[in-house]
Structure formats: C-alpha cells, structure tokens
Amino acid sequence: MPDEDVQQSMQKYQQIQQQLEQVQGFIDQVEDNIDEMNETIDAVNQLEDQEEGSEILVPIGSGAFVVGELKENSKIVTNIGGEAFEKRDTEDAEEILDGRRKELVETREDLNSTMQELQSQMQEIQQQIQEAREGAAEQ
C-alpha cells in the first residue's frame, strides 16, 4: 500500500472514530431518555396509590418543584404530539409511555449496531495500515 493510500486510510480511520464518538453521544442521550421514561412510568404507577387531596411535588423543570394538591389520581395528561395534550386513564397513559420506552430501546439497539459496524470498519482499516507498514519494513 503506497504512503498516499496509508494516509487516506488514516484519515478515514479518524473520520470513523469521530462518527463513533457521535454515535456514543446519541446512545448516552437515548439511555438518559430511557431512564427518564422508566421514572415516569414508575411515577404513574405510584400515583394511583396516592390519595386525592394529598400534597405532592410537581416538577416545573430544571430540578425545581412546587407543592401541589392531587385533584385526581386516575387520569394523566400526556403529550400526543406537538403542543397537543390529552387526558387519559393511568392504564392508557402507562401503555403509551411503555410504547415510547420500547421505541427508545429499539433506537438504542440500532445505534449499538451502528457502533459495532463502525468499530469493525476501524479494525479493518487498522489491520490494512499495519499490513502496509509491515510490508514497507520488509522492503
């Protein structure tokens, strides 16, 4: 393999390495979303155990909460897309949330497959570069 080809292979290796880092970042985000979804599903399950009229902490974002009074423990308001929301029974809401969690798990699996593919490409390029260097050393 001529030096020019080795250099191109090294550039391709670096590009794949950058892609790999991006994919890992996406995986981390998806895993965070899965964790958040699991916490939400747990909260929905626990809500039914709370008595109506009891005080609860209501998240308002960025780790901040307000104290609220639980008016209804059998309905959940869920986002159905964009800025649209719909009130649902806790069972229906849990099914929707579980469906979203499953989609996230599938996305994570797809990203893991992509990551393995990229790692395989990197190993192949690394092997080609190593063979080229060994061939050049023998000459």
- Residue 2 placed within a domain: no
Q: Dig out the tokens for 58 from the structure.
A: 């209501």
- Residue 73 placed within a domain: yes
pLDDT at position 2 is: 64
Mean pLDDT of the chain: 91
Provide the domain count of the chain.
1
CATH, residue 42: 1.10.287.370
Tell me which of 13-22, 34-43, 123-132 is least confident.
123-132
By the 8 A CB rule, do 65 and 9 touch?
A: no
Would the pTM of this model clear 0.85, i.e. be above it?
no
